[in-house]
Amino acid sequence: MTIAQQFSKKPNIIAFGSQNGGAGKTTTSFNFAVMQSLRGRKCIVIDLDKQHSVAELVDARDKERAAEIAELEAKIEATLHKGLVKKYENRIQAILDMPQIEVKSFELDEDIPMFLRGFQHYDDIIIDLPNGELDNGYARIARLADVFVFMFKDSRINYNTKHHCQALIQGLQKVAARDGFTLDTVFKTHVLINKMPSQKAIDNKRVDITRKLGSEYLEFAPLLKEQVSERQPVRNASDRGLSVCELDNQFSRVATNEFFNLLQEIEALAEAKKSQNITQ
């Protein structure tokens, strides 16, 4: 039984990679983890980025929650108004009910595949890979993914790196192939364009992306149906260690829907991949 087949039993393993920084790997990984936790799924983020940005986001989240609870407790101590006390207590409970995001930080030279074998009780394993690295450690992790999402930021500089990105992915595939993984079933890459102009209709965005990347490249690494736009609520949420879905206001709902639709598409790909592995 291969490593990939061992993991087909339960967790969805989703890896996010990119050639350059700023593509949104960390933000996407973090938002996915929170959304899945809110849906009642047991989720962990494996943070392999050298800056350990997901771990920093989770740390900011914990500090934000602790500070707000301390402030509310001080308000409770300072008032005799029963209505206000109840309001503050309800808010504290809501904060305590927010999902705890599990994150593990590693370096690529650690034996992460061996470590991950202990995580089959999770529903989702989300992997935030380092930017643009080609080595055996990177390939060993990427090959475990049910879905490997390669992210581009919507900018000329990033589109101009497409040949480097293709060489990177092909190099990773060769490493996986040497270890007995077949490219067509185990190491399929999908492209996600992040931080698109929000005023563009999705169909116009797809036409624009196809023109910039070229049909030959997109045959090699298909474009995901869903894309994510550049939106201020996403940045506002990240600054507070929150997912955009936790803001729950009229300005955040469009961004929340984009992330949720993307999550559903990637989930469907992961489930299809696991079913394919089981039949082999």
pLDDT, one tens digit per residue, over 46-63 is 888 778 889 999 998 999
Q: Give me 81's structure tokens.
A: 């108004």
Which one has a higher pLDDT value, 201 or 253? Answer: 253
127 within 8 A of 13, measured Cβ to Cβ: yes
84 within 8 A of 75, measured Cβ to Cβ: yes
Which pLDDT band, with edges at 50, 70 and 90, does 179 fall under? low
Mean pLDDT in residue range 161-184:
66
If 0-12 CB within 10 Å is exposed, 13-18 middle and 19+ buried, where does residue 276 land?
middle
pLDDT attached to residue 190? 79
Three-state SS annotation for 95-131: HHHCCCCEEEECCCCCCHHHHHHHHCCCCEEEEEEEE
pLDDT at 9 exceeding the cut of 90: no
Element (H, E) at 150: strand 147-153
pLDDT attached to residue 176? 64
pLDDT attached to residue 160? 67
Mean pLDDT in residue range 14-19:
84
pLDDT attached to residue 138? 65
From 107-111, 187-191, 231-235, the region with the lowest mean pLDDT: 107-111
pLDDT at 250 exceeding the cut of 70: yes
Instruction: Provide the CATH topology of domain 3-52+103-279.
Output: Rossmann fold (3.40.50)
pLDDT at 247 exceeding the cut of 80: yes
Residues 128 and 43: their CA atoms lie apart, in Å, by 13
* Each residue's pLDDT tens digit, 107-135: 665 566 666 677 778 999 999 888 766 55
Q: In this structure, is the dihedral angle defined by the CA atoms of residues 267, 26, 30 and 261, taken in order, positive or negative?
A: negative
